[in-house]
Structure 1
Amino acid sequence: MTAAIRIALADDQALVRAGLRALLERLGGIEIAFETDDGAALLQQLAASPVDVVLSDVRMPGTGGIDALTALRQRGDTTPVLLLTTFDDSDLLLRATEAGAQGFLLKDAAPEDLHDAIVRVAAGETLLQPVSTEPVRARFRFRDETPPSDSFSEREVSILRLLAGGYSNKEIARTLFLAEGTVKNYVSTILDKLGTRDRTRAVLKAITLRII
């Protein structure tokens, strides 16, 4: 029997939390480990009770979802974070991406889509396309648009997405359950395929070429 995905739920509205809990428990395969009503409490509880995925509202009084995510990454916690918002705002998507979010969804997404997003994020995927990504691509556009020398495997794309989130080789290895040396080899291959000298240029070019 597959173990349930443990999630932390953060939203300042009690009714929203209750609705999300009921929805996710009805769909099955997900366990709400704990709930909080702000980002500061979320950070505190995560330190004592690790989870598989954090499901957090973007806008909360005090410490919002993106600020909490930033603090989480700064202390070395790579727990996947799925952010929810009622705002169809490309700038929020950009900020979520820069902070290292694995997922970003609008609150009016279908229940099945939310459930699927949690499952996929828990499995290491990145879901950051609920709104127009063009402002993101425009901001990060890279001058070299030469096509890559070869296609990218699903694993290489996953690593590129984690590189875009600011993850180190060690953090990527822990997230994808790989040896750090294996990740280093993947990164070298990615740089070669993109014809770039460093990770930052690789991420910028991958965004420009729509690889990620």
Structure 2
Amino acid sequence: MIAPLRIALADDQALVRAGLHALLERQGIEIVFEADDGAHLLELLATQPVDVVLSDIRMPGVDGIEALQRLRERGDTTPVLLLTTFDDSELLLRATEAGAQGFLLKDAAPEDLRDAIERVARGDTLLQPVSTEAVRTRYQFHAQDAPKERFSEREVAILRLLAGGYSNKEIARSLFLAEGTVKNYVSVILEKLDTRDRTRAVLKAITLRVI
């Protein structure tokens, strides 16, 4: 019999923790302990090893990113999966550089949450929205390639979904928009990045740190 995955759960909201705890237990995942901030998480991890850390990226005091940095500084390589929202673009970049194995949107489906935990536990990375130095190194752009205009929060959210390979229809469903509205947003995004190709637009947006 395969032993259940053992995880640590960190979130400053008690109701969120309770909901995630119940959900994960129903999926056969063992919650070894819960923490209400990053400092508490680090304290407990020192004596109770787990397979994966599932942490909110935004917490008062020591947040998910600082906890991750401190974890890596003390030589702990436990995979960390951060829960995030669409408006965390700068935080996602910082977390990637700090060594996060993955991100998951807070409104993800339960089966996606279990899949993400299993993937990072076996060593995979789940960087959607994608933000990697490897992409930036491979696709270099010059100053004149900078976006013509600043991107709105909604446009950044759509760019992230494009980076994850989502179609206009899937983006519309995720953001509760009409498919035609998403198509218009994508056209504006391509115009701002001066390209007609969605893939190149995503690569360019990553390189220029738009996402």
Q: TM-score, normalised by structure 1?
A: 0.62
* Partners of 1:9 and 1:36 within 8 A in 2: yes
- Note the aligned Cα RMSD (angstroms): 2.3
Bigger Rg over Cα: 2
CA distance in 2, matches of 1:42, 1:136: 26
Offset from partner CA, 1:119-147 (integer Å, 9 cap, x none): 11101100011x3x3x65699344789xx
* Partners of 1:6 and 1:51 within 8 A in 2: yes
Question: CA 1:76/1:138 → structure 2, altered by over 3 Å: closer, same or farther?
Answer: closer
Name the residue aligned to 2:47.
48
Size of the aligned set, in residue pairs, is 143
SS in structure 1 at match of 2:46: helix
Shift of 1:86: 2.7
| Structure 2: gaps spanning 5 or more residues | 142-205
Name the residue aligned to 1:120.
119
Offset from partner CA, 1:48-79 (integer Å, 9 cap, x none): 10100000000001000000000000010000
* Partners of 1:96 and 1:104 within 8 A in 2: no
Shift of 1:20: 0.2
Answering whether residue 31 of structure 2 is matched by residue 32 of structure 1, we say: yes
Offset from partner CA, 1:126-173 (integer Å, 9 cap, x none): 0011x3x3x65699344789xxxxxxxxxxxxxxxxxxxxxxxxxxxx
CA distance in 2, matches of 1:10, 1:138: 29
Question: CA 1:125/1:139 → structure 2, altered by over 3 Å: closer, same or farther?
Answer: closer
Name the residue aligned to 1:10.
10
Question: CA 1:21/1:143 → structure 2, altered by over 3 Å: closer, same or farther?
Answer: closer
| Structure 1: gaps spanning 5 or more residues | 146-206
Question: CA 1:73/1:27 → structure 2, altered by over 3 Å: closer, same or farther?
Answer: same
Question: CA 1:143/1:5 → structure 2, altered by over 3 Å: closer, same or farther?
Answer: closer
Question: Residue 103 of structure 2 aligns to which amino acid in structure 1?
Answer: F
SS in structure 2 at match of 1:48: coil
CA distance in 2, matches of 1:138, 1:123: 21
CA distance in 2, matches of 1:138, 1:127: 15
Name the residue aligned to 2:96.
97
- The sequence identity of aligned pairs, in percent, is 75
Name the residue aligned to 1:150.
none
